[in-house]
Amino acid sequence: MKNIKVDLLVIGAGSGGLVLASGAAQLGANVVLVEGDRMGGDCLNYGCVPSKALLAAANTAHQVNHSDKFGIKAEIVSANYADVMAYVAKKIAEIAPHDSQERFEKMGVKVIRQYAKFKDRKTIIAGEYEITARRIVLATGSRAKIPNLKGLDEVSYLTNETLFDLRKAPSHLAIIGGGPIGLEMAQAHARLGIKTTLIEMNRIMLGHERRFVEPVHKSLIDDGVNIVENTFVNRVEKDKADIKLHLSSGKVLLVSDLLIAAGRVPNIEQLALEQAGVKYNEFGVIVDRNLRTTNKLVYAIGDIVEGSRFTHTASYHAGIVLKKILLGLPSKLRTDHIPQVTYTDPEIASVGMNFEDAVKRFGKKVERSCVNLKTNDRAITDSKTEGFVEVILIGRKVIGCSITSKNAGELISFWAFVIAKSIKISNINAMVAPYPTLGEVNKRVVSEYYAPKVFDNKILKYYVGIIQKFSK
């Protein structure tokens, strides 16, 4: 057994772990990074990167096949699934060097490609190494949650970790789960010409107000996705080369491939957290506002912590821990400024509170301002007018924003910044937005908020009248 003593031990080379390891090493800390699977974690290999590459390919095919509305006549194109997946693999390969072992070793990080588990409160075993660290950070991420579904263990099913290995196109893809992963993959495959059924036990995108989901629901239907809501799968069984799904409605669905997209669970089983006195539950490792666990030497970041499981959240967590344990600076967790995006067409994005939740908490003092994309000239010229931007306010303070639109993920960054820095809405009103851009809606929603306060103000109108009467 080889013994190592370090300042910082990071377990997991996903987005959070990599940000933390690189930052700590560049600040002069002695850092060991342990990873038992692929460098780059879920985001690079199974999540963000491959899914967005697949969506890009599918949306390109869709654009060509619907070019007639722009006055362009094009032959209907069909996708070669193997070639599309090869494109996805190519994009992963292009980004992979940024997350590679070689790059981090050049920064001074010692990388150990083994799974890790605790020996005691401050010691980790990883292969032939016994590592003692002043601080340990858990960044092992999450994986697909596999439902307790009768017969599932008897059939071959897909998760996000295996989907992108496919080279043969499914003849009929069924997806269990109507969250972000389920919706994105349903739309991508439908736009590639694949028969697709989406099954959700509640309604799709349950965490969003229905009116913001409706444009996406319509788009999926238009793309040919068969959406089955308020229905669950009772059991599955193998039927020769196919899979038979028995639905709660009594219907039976015969499909070629089954994708499980029913949520995420934290990767904690292999860590032997009990040995370190680190408490956890089914949602993840329990942490305080500094992301410190019940073991004061151990921190946890990213998907292993209960809350929003996004790459940018993990990176944000890494920054908090970096400031706390290496620089000794106060840096506490907050969640109100963390955006979330579903990359369908149109996209759904939000940050902070929605109107319903805000009213429940703050009552009648909550206000909102909403703009329909049909009023935006750039949306009109691009034929992308489905959607809304809504801002939630208390006084002049923005506490939330919801957007359904083309490039909603880009638009929401503005409001995440506004909330993070507590920028008053009056300061936003002073902004000049370029014309014609989709981004004008962010300024327009502020103007709509002020419009009744200005143009329906009798006192102000009286004042204007006086000025006009006596001015020369």
Could you tell me which of 92, 22, 115 has the C-alpha nearest to residue 326?
22
User: How remote is the C-alpha of 376 from its chain's centroid?
Assistant: 26
- pLDDT tier for residue 308 given thresholds of 50, 70 and 90: confident
- Give the model's pLDDT for residue 457: 64
Domains parsed from the chain with CATH numbers: 2-39+100-144+265-326 (3.50.50.60), 152-263 (3.50.50.60), 340-455 (3.30.390.30)
Instruction: Tell whether the model's pLDDT for residue 13 goes beyond 60.
Output: yes
pLDDT of residue 428: 92
pLDDT band at residue 344, thresholds of 50, 70 and 90? very high
Both tokens of 97, joined, read 């060097």
The pLDDT score that the predictor gives to residue 452 is: 72
Q: Tell me which long-range contacts 73-81 makes (C-beta under 8 A, separation of at least 24).
A: 78/193, 79/169, 79/192, 79/193, 81/166, 81/167, 81/168, 81/169, 81/192, 81/194
Report the C-alpha gap between 86 and 92 in whole angstroms: 10
pTM, two decimals, is: 0.94
Is the pLDDT higher at 77 or at 174?
174
What pLDDT, on a 0 to 100 scale, did the predictor assign at position 430? 87
Instruction: State mean pLDDT over 354-378.
Output: 94
Q: What mean pLDDT do residues 353-369 have?
A: 93
